Amino acid sequence: MANIKDIAKMAGVSVTTVSRVLNNHPYVSADKKEAVRKAIELCKYQPNINAVHLSIGKTYLIGVVIPFSNHPYFGLLLEGIANEALKSNYKLVLFQTNYEELREAEALAMLKDKQIDALIICSRICEWDMIDEYLSYGRIILCEDVRGENVSATFIDHYKTFTKALTYLYDKGHKKIGYCIGRQTGTNSKQRELAYHDFMEKWDLPFEPAYIFDECLHVEDGDRVVQQVKKMSDPPSALLVTSDQVAAGIVTCCKVNNISIPEELAIMGFDNQPIAKMMNITTLEIPLVEMGKNLFRQAVEKADISQKEIFVELIERDTV
Amino acid sequence: MANIKDIAKMAGVSVTTVSRVLNNHPYVSADKKEAVRKAIELCKYQPNINAVHLSIGKTYLIGVVIPFSNHPYFGLLLEGIANEALKSNYKLVLFQTNYEELREAEALAMLKDKQIDALIICSRICEWDMIDEYLSYGRIILCEDVRGENVSATFIDHYKTFTKALTYLYDKGHKKIGYCIGRQTGTNSKQRELAYHDFMEKWDLPFEPAYIFDECLHVEDGDRVVQQVKKMSDPPSALLVTSDQVAAGIVTCCKVNNISIPEELAIMGFDNQPIAKMMNITTLEIPLVEMGKNLFRQAVEKADISQKEIFVELIERDTV
């Protein structure tokens, strides 16, 4: 039986070109396509795509590490990555990690084993050393601020953004400011925590641990936040909420509990998701779909390391 | 250089066992693991996992077709599939189709080419014939009612469920009932449409095309529905909304527009997502994460065709 090399020889093209035709890859001239098709027909060649990929050392698969599938933040990033992958005829291998380090290690191992061409890590829990170790094995793209490291990334400066939001609340007269965060252990969360501490210190504001609400991921977590705030003898006057979904939950529960917004409690969301627009929530716009698209482009482009900072705009509405 | 067969021979195990050790697959005895590891060490063997997969005809990859990544319904299904895949050491290849038939064809082609071990189709736009054609090439699992066909599925009887919801609204005195749907072309939507028409005919209710709202996918689509309802001289008194997100959007916009719920407009959601609980929306509970888990199990199990119907519970709250 003819193999891919025979086809290439017969068609007068390279093995890579044959592989591209078999994968419906763009950028193959009509002439070459036709020649490959004729050769395939003559040989009655039945391609085994895995063997083809093996022979050219390319899988047209890009790995994507996300902690959760069921979260609008990662859903929007994934939407951007997936739409861009569609355009380039790549497929995505999804690693949902639930923030287990072992799962991140598995994704890196697949990159090392060349089962994927590149790996996009949307959020991680592993130490930097582990990423660093695998950088020599393949292309890794990060969605975090790694300036100074030799790795591609599309990122937001969370320290700067958090400081911008805190300054806005402070300028509106707030002194008792708290925040809600997805998880305290992530790289982005650590930047935010640092920004918060520096801000409190700069303006000589008291640090109150009870004003920091952890594990705020979904709309229903807003209810828990409001219940806790209600119990406080000296509650915060403003909350920076790192998810519009959670902010929407807080706003809804405040209405039920007769807490007036922004008079008694000011709320600032994050992302500018549709729910923020609909409920008139003041928020910081993060173009997640665009960020996802850029992450994918960085994963497949031949260029060197690139780092792209995404700037965040403050959208003034009714909740601050 | 030693290959996988040499390792197997040296360790006194099968090629499949070597592959399992290389893939960190469970169900390999400690003795065999140790023997394989020793053999690998002795040979200084560098596995190319793609070659290993090729030799055993298994990739440990399961394809998942979803129309959108950024949609809570599919996010929850994917969460269930991904969590179950984690447990069994499988990875997922994501096909986000945006409901383009060509993308579905690509996923089926990957199954045929054995780049994935099985394909889970969460929602499709292609004709049944296309599925039927590929069933001989590999395992396909559907998330729709395909009773009578020789294919595995985890499904909801949407005809029965829609009729149940319509009956509930009718018994509450509603005669002018409309519905909001994601897209009218899908297989599930057609069942719902049929149930609606049959119900209208059975109770001799007038059919009003303006009471059917298409393209209702996200929370912000609720605003469009409310704007249209407001313009009607004879608006519906109740809406069946096939997404809790859209239902939440409608409820929020009705408040802004001083339309009282349920007095002027009754709203029944679908899925029982956290937002429905938080906003006290009457809804139909669909256990999407559980459905996702079952879809994955059907994709990897060795058993014959299985079809599992999921039953839907009506959750009475304040919006009907």
Residue A2: pLDDT above 70?
Answer: no
Question: Would an 8 Å CB–CB cutoff place A249 in contact with chain B?
Answer: yes
Q: How many C-beta atoms lie closer than 10 Å to residue A11's C-beta?
A: 21
A79–B75 C-beta distance less than 8 A = no
Q: Is B3 on the interface with A (CB under 8 A)?
A: no
CB proximity B208 to A under 8 Å? no
Out of B50, B72, B113, closest to residue A114 by CB: B50
pLDDT higher than 80, residue A38: yes
Out of B50, B69, B75, name the one closest to residue A53 (CB). Answer: B50
Per-residue pLDDT at B78: 94
Q: For the segment A152-211, what is each residue's pLDDT rounded down to a tens digit?
A: 999 999 999 999 999 999 999 999 999 999 877 777 888 999 999 999 999 999 889 999
Phi then psi dihedrals of residue A279, to 5 deg: -100, 10
A136 Cβ contact partners less than 8 Å away, ≥ 6 residues apart = none
C-alpha A18/C-alpha A8 separation (Å) is 6
Band the pLDDT of A69: cuts 50, 70, 90.
confident
- The percent of residues in chain A predicted with pLDDT above 90, rounded, is 60
Segment 15-44 of chain B within 8 Å of chain A by CB: 24
Torsion of CA B277, B280, B281, B282, to 10 degrees: 90
Closest CA to A163 of A186, A139, A192, A143: A192
Confidence of residue A216 (pLDDT cuts 50, 70, 90): very high
Contact yes or no for B93 and A93 at CB 8 A: yes
Mean pLDDT for A78-96 is 92
Shortest CA distance from A116: residue in chain B: B50
Rg (CA), chain A: 24
Per-residue three-class SS string for A68-99: CCCCHHHHHHHHHHHHHHHHCCCEEEEEECCC
Contact A66, A94 (CB under 8 A): yes
For the ranges A80-84, A312-316, B196-200, B270-274, which has the lowest average pLDDT?
B270-274
Give the up-direction half-sphere exposure of residue B148: CA atoms within 13 A in the CB hemisphere. 3
Residue A126 reports pLDDT greater than 60: yes
Cβ distance A91 to B96 less than 8 Å, yes or no, reads: no
Q: Which DSSP symbol is given to A320?
A: -
Is residue A48 over pLDDT 70? no
**Which positions 113-132 of A are in contact with B (Cβ < 8 Å)?**
113-115
Mean residue pLDDT across chain A? 89
3-state secondary structure of B294: helix
Going by C-alpha positions, the residue among A305, A292, A252, A247 that lies closest to residue A273 is A247
The reply to whether A210 touches chain B by the CB within 8 Å rule is: no
Going by their DSSP bridges, the two strands B91-96 and A91-96 should be labelled as: antiparallel
Of A54, A68, A43, the C-alpha closest to A19 is A54
**Per-residue pLDDT at B262:** 97
In a 13 Å sphere around the CA of A35, the CA atoms on its Cβ side amount to: 18
Contacts with A103 from chain B: Cβ below 8 Å: 86
Contact A274 B86 (CB under 8 A): no
B227 touches A: beta carbon within 8 Å? no
- Does B113 contact A274 at a Cβ distance shorter than 8 Å? no
Is the separation of the CB atoms in B174 and B266 below 8 Å?
yes
Positive/negative CA dihedral, B279, B280, B286, B290: positive
Q: If you search the block for the tokens 């003034």, which residue do you land on?
A: A316
- Return the residue of B nearest to A222 by Cα: B278
pLDDT score, position A21: 80
Residue percentage of chain B with pLDDT more than 70 = 94
Decide: helix, strand or coil at residue B93. strand
Question: Is B138's Cβ below 8 Å from some Cβ in A?
Answer: no
Output the average pLDDT for chain B: 89
Q: Which residues of A touch B69 (CB under 8 A)?
A: 69, 75, 78-79, 82
Tell me which chain B residues have a C-beta less than 8 angstroms from the C-beta of A76. Answer: 70
B70 touches chain A (CB under 8 A): yes
Residue A76 has pLDDT above 60, yes or no: yes
Most confident of A71-75, A214-218, A239-243, B13-17: A239-243
Q: Which tens digits make up the pLDDT trace of B180-215?
A: 998 777 778 889 999 999 999 999 998 899 999 999
How distant is the Cα of B211 from the closest Cα of chain A, in angstroms? 23
pLDDT in the model for residue A64: 97
Q: Across the interface, do B71 and A75 touch by the CB < 8 Å criterion?
A: yes
**A96–B83 CB contact, under 8 Å:** yes
B78 contact residues in A (CB cutoff 8 A): 69-70, 94, 96
Rounded mean pLDDT, B162-171: 97
Burial class (CB in 10 A: 0-12, 13-18, 19+), A209: exposed
Residue A299 has pLDDT above 80, yes or no: yes
pLDDT tens digits along B28-66: 888 888 888 888 777 766 555 656 665 566 888 999 999
pLDDT bucket at A50, cuts 50 / 70 / 90: low
Percent of chain B topping pLDDT 90? 60
Helix (H, G, I), strand (E, B), or coil: what is residue B34? helix
pLDDT at B58: 80
A140: nearest Cα among A122, A156, A155: A122
Q: Where are the alpha helices (DSSP H) in B48-88?
A: 49-56, 72-87
Average pLDDT over residues A83-97: 91
In this complex, the residue of A70, A114, A275 whose CB is nearest that of residue B219 is A275
Q: What is the mean pLDDT of residues A43-57?
A: 61
Residue in A49, A82, A113 nearest the CB of B69 = A82
User: Are the Cβ atoms of A278 and B222 closer than 8 angstroms?
Assistant: yes
Alpha helices in A232-287 (DSSP H): 244-256, 274-278
Per-residue pLDDT reduced to its tens digit, A250-286: 998 998 899 999 999 999 999 998 889 888 999 999 9
- The pLDDT confidence band at residue B275, using thresholds 50, 70 and 90, is confident
Find, in chain B, the residue whose alpha carbon is nearest to that of A68. B79
CB neighbours of residue A257 within 10 Å: 12
Instruction: Give the Cβ contact number of residue A276 at 10 Å.
Output: 26
Q: For residues A51 and A45, what is the distance between their CA atoms, to the nearest angstrom?
A: 13
Say yes or no to pLDDT of A44 above 70: no
Question: Domains of chain B by range and CATH?
Answer: 4-56 (1.10.260.40), 61-156+289-311 (3.40.50.2300), 158-285 (3.40.50.2300)
Residue A83 and residue B96: Cβ atoms within 8 Å? yes
